[in-house]
Amino acid sequence: MRMADRSAGLPPVKRIAVPAVSFAQHPGLVEHLLDRYPDAKINNEGGIHYRTEEETIAYLSGCEAAIISFEIISDRVLSALPELRVVSKLGVGLDRVDPLAMRRHGVRLGWTPGVNKRAVAELALGLAITGLRHVVPCNLGIRAGERQLTRLGRQLSGRVVGVHGVGQIGQEFIRLLQPFGCRVLGCDKEDRSEFCARYGVELVQPEELYARSEVLSIHLALNPHTRMLYDTDTLRNLRPDCVLINTGRGGIVDEKVLYRALTEGWIAAAAFDVFEEEPPTDDALLNLPNFVATPHMGASSVEARWEMGITAIKGLTDNFIPVPGKYPFEFS
């Protein structure tokens, strides 16, 4: 897929701010950015997250370009930052970026797909095994003084694994599944037939995906079509032995209903790296023994963070004007 209107011959940006707290977690990225932009303002305070519009506006005031992660880029933010010309994304999620507002204000977007796909796919694979083998409840039991000799789980090998969203990360997850001899089901709104044929993936409709998957891994973007997609009806249609994994985006699964699904036996287990509110606050869900929670760390590997940062720096000069309704904003 092509992104039109790439930058060409535009004057370089000079005043750069990086509110994205995760950027400074890799010291090599800080050094790399400062070599090119010595006066860049970088958030290295660790605990601060510029997640409200007011905080983002205050941090980016007077800047021409920004490297963002979870910060909100809305019409209100851009109206208050008339000097801002470029927003470059650390990572791939664009659910907090308003393409219509960016286009209206003439602000360009630096964005590279797939930069963290291996890291997220590896975590999804680990979560699948963790859920199938009861790793968390066994660990909690041992730490509580229980001394069980064994507990039967299931191997990933040979399982029916559903992949909801066969994009960059979903495809990488499927590649990692190859040695396990799984029967893989794929479900996607796009035509993924060529890839699926190459890797022996059976393309199915959502209803069949829900009904057959022993492991179901969500790799969808958050948009109006996927928000709360996994509601009561959907979770009721999953197999009672299903392990549900979400490394996509919070808000795709209704977490209140998920609690019922896990406590009432609709599904066997769930493992989530993403939540509607982050960090998550629903202790009732988080403390369930058949629920595995990680703190949105799918892309938090040294290797992925470097690639994300390097491409974000590149995005300060290689960027485009977003078009609502077109890639990567098909559902905006």
What residue ranges define each of the domains in the chain, with the CATH number in brackets?
A: 16-115+301-314 (3.40.50.720), 117-293 (3.40.50.720)
Residue 26 annotated in active site: no
What pLDDT digit, counting tens, does each position of 166-217 carry?
Answer: 999 999 999 999 999 999 999 999 999 999 999 999 999 999 999 999 999 9
Question: What's the pLDDT score for residue 3?
Answer: 57
Among 190, 207, 277, 278, the active-site one is: 278
What pLDDT digit, counting tens, does each position of 124-140 carry?
Answer: 999 999 999 999 999 99
Residue 314 gets the label, from left (phi > 0), alpha (psi -120 to 50) or beta, of: alpha
Mean pLDDT of 25-31: 93
Among 212, 296, 305, 307, the active-site one is: 296
Residue 249 annotated in active site: yes
Residue 225 annotated in active site: no
| Beta strands 16-18 and 65-68, pairing class | parallel
Question: What's the pLDDT score for residue 5?
Answer: 58
Among 49, 85, 159, 249, the active-site one is: 249
What pLDDT digit, counting tens, does each position of 87-130 carry?
Answer: 999 999 999 999 999 999 999 999 999 999 999 999 999 999 99
- pLDDT of 9 strictly over 90: no
Name the token pair of 240. 């009672």
**Which backbone phi and psi does 142 adopt, to 5 degrees?**
-65, -45
